[in-house]
A and B are shown apart, each in its own frame.
Chain A
Amino acid sequence: MLTITDLHASAGGKEILKGISLTINAGEVHAIMGPNGSGKSTLAQVIAGHPGYEVTGGSIAYEGQDLLDLEAEERAQAGVFLAFQYPVEIPGVTNAYFLRAAYNELRKARGEDEVDPIEFLDVMEEKLKVVEMDASFMQRSVNAGFSGGEKKRNEILQMAVLDPKLAVLDETDSGLDIDALRIVAEGVNKLKKPTNATIVVTHYQRLLNYIVPDFVHVLAGGRIVRSGGKELALELEAKGYDWLLEPAGV
């Protein structure tokens, strides 16, 4: 589904990703771990098409397309989703309007008819259950005045509505208490299918107790310094990151 080859990216003239290669197949969950400043959030944002990063080398192939050739909205329409670490507040625009607008953009891109507000209510009824939210949530402005937990649940709600092939969760666990973490993680698990894939970017192993990865990659200094199975996350939890950083020359 996704093949990243020797990816280099920089922001403000400073190189952050220094040659990342990674292959992700349908049905797989990959965890990207690493210390602060390792480049893991940058990787997530480059996949989604954040305009603040310049790709200076390498390639990303997604479903047979050159992903780097697509605008951010075209990537979303092709099935790529990024759950933001810091979701943006949009005052005055209701969640209902926003979600329907996004939903219809994706339908249009697939050559399907747009749904009207009444039809969309039916779609939402089922999706709200995924993140244990009630319908009143739909009439609130997007993320405006939401608690940290509500913002993250709203990200997963958007993911449920947009039904992506490739979901990238950028530090979705940060700032969550244990109950919110469980709801968010269960939401992600409910959305898992053999035809989609998930990248979980996290600093801590905690989230991976709930969303169990097939592969764990450790990023440091803009490179993947170790890859392994889910047991690698447990090892990191016990030993920290330092034992991997020094041999890698970071």
Chain B
Amino acid sequence: MPTTSYADQFAAALAAGEGPAWLPALRERAFARFHALGFPTTRDEDWHFTSVTPIAERTFKAIRPAATTLTLADLEAHLLDPDWHRLVFVNGRLEPALSTFAGLPAEVQVSTLSEALREQPEWVQKHLGTLAAFDTAAFTALNTAFMQDGVVVRVPKGEVVEVALHILHVTDAQAQGAAIHPRLLVVAEPLAQLTLVESHVAVGAPSYLVNAVAEISVANGARVDHYKLQRESAEAYHVGTVQVTQGRDSIYHSFSFAEGAALSRTNVYTKLAGTGSEARLNGLYVLDGAQHADHQTFVEHLAEACASRELYKGILDGESHGVFNGKVYVDPVAQRTDGKQTNKALILSEKARVDTKPQLEIFADDVKCTHGATVGRLEQLPLFYLKSRGIGAENARALLTYAFAAEVLETIEVDALRVTLEKAIFERFTHHRMD
């Protein structure tokens, strides 16, 4: 698909750009790659079930947002836990007055991308764009070409960050028609630990494109728990790619929650590059109306004795369309691989639809790898059980729909987040408060 409409914007951005000399070169490479690849089409295997025509046929504008008038009170529902360390971006711009991360251990570096580029350009150069390859990924290339104010997090060796770091991206009417390209770089050095919550929310119902890229390095013995909440405006488009590289005995846990956007694509890719490393990729998506949500995971087992666990669940109502594509690659050296992937979808309406495609490529022989996918409606027996207790059909359906989601929400280890999502899903389906 044509990409020329972004060429003028790119030239302007490049001319106005700051930062070290290598950065414009990286941007130019990325834009050239984006131009060559074009937006993906359904002829691309990775995009077979998802047409990005609504994104490709519009030209979303780069914006220079003014300081926001939103207050913490306006964002209360999105803060989740006020005690977390917090960086708030509104329309792609960091809002220091809404942010609070002074309580982080002094050794932990959290800064905006532009600060990091000023203060430690060589360190940034070593990592930025090296984990999230854009050779074959047009949206990642586009992000790299246009990335503005991102976040850089460096957790030094052995440092354990006890309180979660929340990166909250808010979009409002100022972002109407805009493209926002958030960038996140996280480096957890050996034995470091970090819990990261990444939220994408909107105030009102603007139409915009968020094209987010996160690069996360989890070094030997380190652990990163990464929760991503996609609660964009119902008129918005969201493409998000998380690219992780894991060292020996490292742990990366991802939970991806999606209920917003007209069209969304969420990629979580991890490379198990060190022996004994573990990845858990879970997710829940809840769709209605004409929403389309596509989740793709890719676990590369590149070392011995690594474990991967995946559980994705979807609840689909209206005429919504869900896609799950779970890829697992087991390298010839990755003996004693232990992989399990489960994907379940619950269909609530006649017209909702799910396409699911597990892909296993296994080149080692001492491997335990399983996958299972189910797509179905609520079962008769549990409905009868609830009805036999006097609970009417509608309430019984609501409770069982919630129970379907609860099985995966239970795996969220951050209490405030789990409770928030449990309540939200419970109330969404039962129209009752959970108490």
Q: Is B1 an interface residue, CB under 8 A from the partner?
A: no
User: Which residues in A have their C-beta under 8 angstroms from that of B402?
Assistant: 92-93
Contacts of B355 in A (CB 8 A): none
Find out whether the CB atom of B403 lies under 8 angstroms from the CB atom of A90: yes
Identify the closest chain B residue to A86 (Cβ): B381
**Cβ-neighbour of B390 out of A93, A102, A117 (below 8 A):** A102
Judging by beta carbons under 8 Å apart, are A51 and B384 in contact? yes
Known A73-B387, A88-B385: A101·B410 in contact at CB below 8 Å = no
Least Cβ–Cβ distance between A110 and chain B, in angstroms: 11
Which residue of the partner chain, among B388, B422, B434, contacts A82 with CB atoms under 8 Å? B388
Asked if A49 is at the interface (CB within 8 A of a chain B CB), the reply is yes
Complex interface: chain A residues within 8 A of B383 (CB):
51
Complex A-B: 9 CB contacts under 8 Å: A49-B387, A49-B388, A76-B388, A77-B390, A90-B382, A90-B385, A91-B407, A92-B406, A105-B391
Q: Which of A87, A88, A92 has the most CB of B within 10 A?
A: A92
In contact, B387 and A92 (Cβ under 8 angstroms): no
Knowing A50-B384, A51-B384, say if A90 contacts B390 (CB, 8 Å): no
A200 within 8 A of B: no
Question: Is B410 touching A91 in the complex (CB atoms < 8 A)?
Answer: yes
Bound-state CA distance A212–B392 (Å) is 34
Contact with B along A157-199 (1 / 0, CB 8 A): 0100010000000000000000000000000000000000000
Question: A156: shortest Cβ distance to chain B, in Å?
Answer: 13
Cα distance A90–B393 in the bound complex, in angstroms = 16
- Residues in A with CB closer than 8 Å to B389 are 73, 76, 98, 102, 105, 158, 162
A93 touches B406 (CB 8 A): yes
* Cβ–Cβ contact B382 & A92, under 8 A: no
Q: How far does the alpha carbon of A52 sit from the alpha carbon of B384 in the complex, in Å?
A: 10
In the complex the two chains form, what is the Cα distance from A58 to B64 in whole Å? Answer: 77
A97 within 8 A of B: yes
Q: Nearest chain B CB to A53's CB is how many angstroms away? A: 11
Q: Quick check: B385 and A76 within 8 Å, CB to CB? A: no
Interface contact A92-B390, CB-CB below 8 Å:
no
A84 at the interface (CB under 8 A from B): yes
Please provide the chain B residues from 186 to 236 with a CB less than 8 Å away from any CB of chain A in the complex. Answer: none
A78 closest partner in B (C-beta): B390
Q: Assess A72 versus B387: contact at CB under 8 Å? Given A88-B382, A101-B395.
A: yes
Which of A71, A72, A92, A98 is close to B422, meaning CB atoms less than 8 Å apart? Answer: A92
Residue of A nearest to B382 (CB): A88
Known contacts A51-B380, A90-B382, A102-B391; can you find 13 more A-B pairs with CB under 8 A? A49-B388, A73-B390, A73-B392, A73-B396, A77-B390, A90-B386, A90-B400, A92-B407, A93-B399, A98-B389, A102-B390, A105-B391, A106-B390
Q: Is B307 an interface residue (CB 8 A)?
A: no
**Known contacts A88-B381, A90-B399; A71 and B387 CB within 8 A of each other:** yes
> How many residues of chain A get a CB closer than 8 Å to chain B's CBs?
31
Q: Within 8 Å of chain A (Cβ to Cβ): is B152? A: no
Q: Using a CB–CB distance below 8 Å, which chain B residues touch chain A?
A: 380-393, 395-396, 399-400, 402-403, 405-407, 409-410, 422, 434-435
Contacts of A81 in B (CB 8 A): 388
Rounded to whole Å, the gap between the CB of A183 and the closest CB of chain B is 21
Tell me how far the C-beta of B159 lies from the nearest C-beta in chain A, rounded to whole angstroms. Answer: 35
- List B contacts of A52 (CB < 8 A): 380, 384
Cβ–Cβ contact B409 & A76, under 8 A: no
A135 touches B (CB below 8 Å): no
Q: Known contacts A51-B384, A97-B434; is A91 also within 8 Å of B403 by CB?
A: yes
User: Could you tell me the distance between the alpha carbons of A196 and B381 in the complex, rounded to whole angstroms?
Assistant: 27
Tell me the bound Cα distance from A77 to B395 in angstroms.
14
When chains A and B are docked, how far (Å) is the Cα of A93 from the Cα of B383? 14
Taking the nearest CB of chain A, how far is it from the CB of B256, in angstroms?
Answer: 19
Query: Does A93 lie within 8 Å of B387, measured CB to CB?
Result: no
B388 A92 Cβ-Cβ under 8 A: no
Interface residue A22 (Cβ < 8 Å from any Cβ of B):
no
> For the complex, what is the distance from the CA of A51 to the CA of B383, rounded to whole Å?
10
Report the bound CA distance from A52 to B393 in whole Å.
16
Which residues 188-247 of A sit at the B interface, judged by CB distance below 8 A? none
> A71 near B393 (CB under 8 angstroms)?
yes
0 or 1 for each of A63-75: is its CB under 8 Å from B? (1 = yes): 0000000011101
Report A-chain residues with C-beta under 8 Å of the C-beta of B382: 88, 90
Chain B CB within 8 A of A11 CB? no
Complexed CA–CA distance, A117 and B388 (Å): 22
A164 closest partner in B (C-beta): B390
A48 at the A/B interface (Cβ < 8 Å)?
Answer: yes
- Determine the distance from Cα of A158 to Cα of B390 in the docked complex, in whole angstroms: 11
Q: Which residues of A contact B390 (CB under 8 A)?
A: 73, 76-77, 102, 105-106, 109, 162
CA distance A49 to B383 in the complex (A): 12
* Minimum distance in angstroms from B57 CB to a CB of chain A: 41
10 closest pairs, A vs B, by CB?
A: A92-B406, A76-B390, A72-B387, A102-B389, A105-B390, A88-B385, A73-B387, A88-B382, A91-B407, A77-B390
A100 to chain B, nearest CB (A): 10
A72 touches B384 (CB 8 A): yes
Given that A90-B382, A92-B409, A92-B422 are contacting pairs, would A101 and B391 also be in contact in the complex, using a CB cutoff of 8 Å? yes
